[in-house]
């Protein structure tokens, strides 16, 4: 399903590639072509470090189709070091008690599966507690 | 006076699980009731508020569907979609059509048929209202999004664990007086404290139940009303709509609903009143947290203090600012794109003085607000009872 769309987003999904505004230096993720800070045109690619902290989090039990087999899972708003906030699942939590402000880092993991024999496996970014080896 | 836009007729179905009633029948029942209530005025245009029929019922093209099924074939008809704000957005389009003079009478219907689908497919449908590329793709649901906001809100403003209980307690208390409400039973504070966690910190009572329902209003100009029109005149004193970022994470301050502030500010200005003159407020309590954040962004409470209004009783029928007067989304039920029109019908009942034992004491100005997603769309209307 939606193969071109998943392909089109590969730089964001795998590399956390956003933009930096050439006018005001604001870092932008996801890329949006018009800088939300100054309104100027922003098309310069910028790869984020993948480091940030938990802004908020929750656990999903009632999940949408394609995600329900992985439920329950934890989803968070992660504030990246460079400024923007992203929505992402948290993974590799183990026994780590979750809390707002916890440092996290990006990893690449499977996001969803369509189930049927022709289904696409969608990979992308998740975040795990920072400093795990 | 002749040019005032009047809510001439109102109609609604009960909200609940209507397994035996189809999407088109639901819509028609409310449309028919509104047209009859308006003394048989035939609309020249139909605006349909709906959020998910293409996903839940494999049915798009609702304008033609409902005009056809209601025996109105030939009139102008189209869908207005803005997620959970679809009903409010449809009302605004109806208002603009009549206000412009291009249409003498417009019918606005909000309809949502949730129970054609259940489980993960419903969650997937609901998630289409968010940013598909960067939110839904992470498995985020609207409930989880509200939970993210609620946790952060409680963290930043030191809200106790049961701090938001006042919203569902109020809604359920008011639902007891609404024969069309899904829940007509009051709940106790202990029930909230013991409630099952749905999406931590959101428990069962912090989210409004999705359900089937339809509501409709017929709008016309004052000079088009039947001579023997029986009701006090309710005019649309203000209509305003605003947007915020689609994705919640794209906001510099996720805990401030800017679209609520913008649309409320514009509406108050249009109506020529201050926030203190609003007699009651039908907020969009799809989740308790949105009620709290709306009260703050609309200017009824300082930041971080919206929940205290519910706790302190200020929002009850006899309080300073009655809210969710017929149960709100929480107790009346949340029929998606129909909710904004339900709010309109309920506010009109209050302003007519026909809200029964839920009648608010002062009823000149009523404000209603319809939100799509985390207020990515906010539609605010102010209705006024004209003095005879």
For B104-119, write each residue's pLDDT tens digit: 999 999 999 999 998 9
Contact B138 A87 (CB under 8 A): yes
Kindly state whether residue B336 falls inside one of the protein's structural domains. Answer: yes
> Which pLDDT value is given to residue A131?
84
Chain A CA closest to residue B125: A64
B315 within domain boundaries: yes
CA B160 to chain centre: 28
Last residue of a domain, one of B224, B253, B283: B224
Inter-chain contact B201–A68, Cβ cutoff 8 Å?
no
Whether residue B229 is contained in a domain is answered as no
**Both structure tokens of A100:** 């707002």
- DSSP class of residue B136 equals G
The total number of structural domains in chain B stands at 2
> Same domain, yes or no, for B23 and B131?
no
Is 0.95 topped by the overall pTM? yes
pLDDT of residue A121: 84
Residue B201 inside a domain? The answer is yes
Cβ proximity of B130 and B247 under 8 Å? yes
Residue B220 lies in a domain: yes
List alpha helices for B52-117, DSSP H.
53-56, 62-69, 86-99
Cβ–Cβ contact B128 with A under 8 A: no
CB-based burial, A2-18: b 16+ in 10 Å, e otherwise = eeeebeebeebbeebbb
Kindly list the residues from chain B whose CB atom is less than 8 angstroms away from the CB atom of residue A11: none
Burial class (CB in 10 A: 0-12, 13-18, 19+), B275: middle
For the segment B167-176, the average pLDDT, to the nearest whole number, is 98
Residues B217 and B171 in one domain: no
pLDDT at position B148 over 90: yes
Report pLDDT digits (tens) over B287-308.
999 999 999 999 999 999 999 9
Which residues in chain B are contacts of A122 at CB distance < 8 A? 137
Does residue B133 sit in the same domain as residue B39?
Answer: no
The answer as to whether B15 is a domain residue is yes
Q: Indicate if B73 and B185 belong to the same structural domain.
A: no
Is B191 found in the same domain as B59? Answer: no
pLDDT tens-digit series, residues B327-363 = 999 999 999 999 999 999 999 999 999 999 999 999 9
Whether the per-residue pLDDT at B388 is higher than 80: the answer is no
The pLDDT of residue B253 is above 70: yes
Residue A120 has a pLDDT of 79
From residue B53, how far is each of A86, B49, B61, B127 by CA, in Å?
A: 30, 10, 9, 14
B114 and B263 belong to one structural domain: no
**Per-window interface: A 94-123 vs B, CB < 8 A:** 100, 111-112, 122
In 3D space, the residue among B107, B102, B37, B104 whose CA is nearest the CA of residue B70 turns out to be B107
Q: How many whole angstroms separate alpha carbon B355 and alpha carbon B79?
A: 30
Looking at the structure, tell me whether residues B203 and B317 fall in a common domain: yes
Whether residue B216 is found in the same domain as residue B264: no
pLDDT value of residue B339: 98
Are B133 and B94 contained in the same domain?
no
CA distance B148 to chain A (A): 5
Q: Of B224, B259, B291, at which residue does a domain stop?
A: B224
In a domain, B86, yes or no: yes
**From CA B26, how far away is CA B14, in angstroms rounded?**
10
Average pLDDT over residues B116-135: 95
Contact assignment for A65 to B151 by CB distance below 8 Å:
no
pLDDT over 80 at B232, yes or no:
yes
Minimum-distance CB partner of A65 among B124, B135, B247: B124
Specify whether B80 is located in the same domain as B192: no
Q: Is B353 helix (H, G, I), strand (E, B) or coil?
A: coil
A60 to chain B: which residues are within 8 Å by CB? 139-141, 143-144, 199
SS3 content of chain A, % helix, strand, coil (to 5): 10, 40, 45
Q: B57 lies in a domain?
A: yes
Look up residue B236 and give its DSSP letter.
Answer: E
The per-residue pLDDT for A115 is: 66
Q: Cα separation of B350 and B384, whole Å?
A: 10
User: What is the domain extent for residue B62?
Assistant: 5-118+210-224
Share of chain B above pLDDT 70, in %: 100
Partner-chain contact A64 B138, CB within 8 Å: no
Looking at the fold, whether B220 and B243 belong to one and the same domain comes out as no
The 3-state DSSP composition of chain B as helix, strand, coil percent (nearest 5) reads 40, 20, 40
Angstrom distance (rounded) from CA B109 to CA B35 = 11
The mean pLDDT value of chain B amounts to: 97
ipTM over 0.90: yes
Three-state SS across B4-37? Answer: CEEEEEEEECCCECCCCCCHHHHHHHHHHHHHHH
Specify the CATH number for the domain of residue B87. Answer: 3.40.47.10
For residue B257, what are its two tokens? 């609903």
**Same domain, yes or no, for B129 and B265?**
yes
Neighbouring C-beta atoms of residue A28, cutoff 10 Å: 23
Report mean pLDDT in 10-residue bins for chain A, 133 residues: 85 95 95 93 94 98 92 97 97 92 96 74 94 71
């Amino acid at each position: 399903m939606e193969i071109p769309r998943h392909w089109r987003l590969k730089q964001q999904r795998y590399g956390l590639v956003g933009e930096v505004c050439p006018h005001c230096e604001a870092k932008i993720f996801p890329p949006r072509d018009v800088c939300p800070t100054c309104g100027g045109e922003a098309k310069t690619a910028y790869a984020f470090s993948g480091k940030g902290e938990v802004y908020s989090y929750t656990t999903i039990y009632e999940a949408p189709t394609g995600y329900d087999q992985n439920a329950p899972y934890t989803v968070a708003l992660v504030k990246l070091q460079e400024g923007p906030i992203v929505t992402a699942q948290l993974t590799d939590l183990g026994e780590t008690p979750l809390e707002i402000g916890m440092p996290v880092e990006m990893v690449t993991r499977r996001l969803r599966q369509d189930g049927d024999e022709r289904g696409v496996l969608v990979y992308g970014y998740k975040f795990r507690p920072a400093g795990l080896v | 006076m002749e040019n005032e836009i009047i809510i001439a007729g109102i109609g609604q179905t009960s909200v609940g699980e209507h397994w035996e009633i189809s999407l088109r029948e639901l819509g028609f029942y409310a449309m028919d009731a509104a047209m009859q209530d308006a003394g048989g005025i035939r609309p020249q245009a139909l605006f349909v508020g709906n959020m998910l029929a293409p996903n839940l019922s494999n049915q798009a093209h609702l304008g033609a569907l409902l005009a056809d099924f209601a025996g109105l074939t030939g009139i102008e008809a189209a869908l207005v979609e803005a997620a959970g704000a679809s009903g409010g957005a449809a009302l605004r389009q109806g208002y603009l059509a009549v206000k412009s003079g291009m249409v003498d009478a417009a019918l606005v219907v909000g309809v949502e048929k949730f129970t054609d689908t259940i489980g993960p497919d419903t969650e997937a449908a609901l998630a289409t209202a968010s940013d598909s590329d960067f939110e839904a793709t992470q498995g985020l649901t609207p409930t989880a999004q509200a939970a993210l906001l609620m946790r952060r809100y409680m963290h930043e403003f030191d809200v106790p664990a049961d701090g938001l209980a006042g919203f569902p307690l109020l809604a359920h208390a008011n639902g007891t007086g609404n024969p069309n409400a899904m829940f007509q039973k009051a709940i106790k504070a202990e029930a909230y404290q013991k409630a099952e966690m749905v999406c931590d910190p959101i428990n069962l009572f912090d989210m409004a139940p999705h359900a089937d329902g339809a509501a409709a209003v017929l709008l016309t100009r004052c000079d088009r009303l039947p001579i023997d029109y029986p009701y006090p005149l309710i005019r649309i004193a203000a209509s305003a709509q605003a947007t915020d970022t689609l994705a919640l994470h794209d906001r510099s301050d996720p805990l401030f609903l800017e679209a609520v502030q913008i649309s409320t500010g514009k509406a108050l200005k249009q109506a020529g009143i201050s926030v203190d003159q609003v007699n009651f407020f039908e907020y969009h309590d799809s989740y308790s947290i949105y009620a709290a954040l709306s009260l703050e962004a609309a200017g009824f409470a300082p930041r971080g203090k919206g929940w205290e209004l519910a706790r302190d009783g200020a929002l009850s029928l006899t309080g300073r600012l009655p809210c969710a007067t017929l149960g709100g989304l929480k107790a009346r039920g949340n029929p998606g794109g129909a909710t904004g029109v339900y709010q309109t019908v309920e506010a009109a009942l209050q302003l007519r003085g026909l809200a029964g034992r839920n009648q608010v004491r002062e009823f000149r100005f009523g404000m209603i607000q319809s939100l799509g997603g985390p207020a990515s769309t906010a539609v605010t209307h102010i209705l006024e009872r004209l003095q005879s």
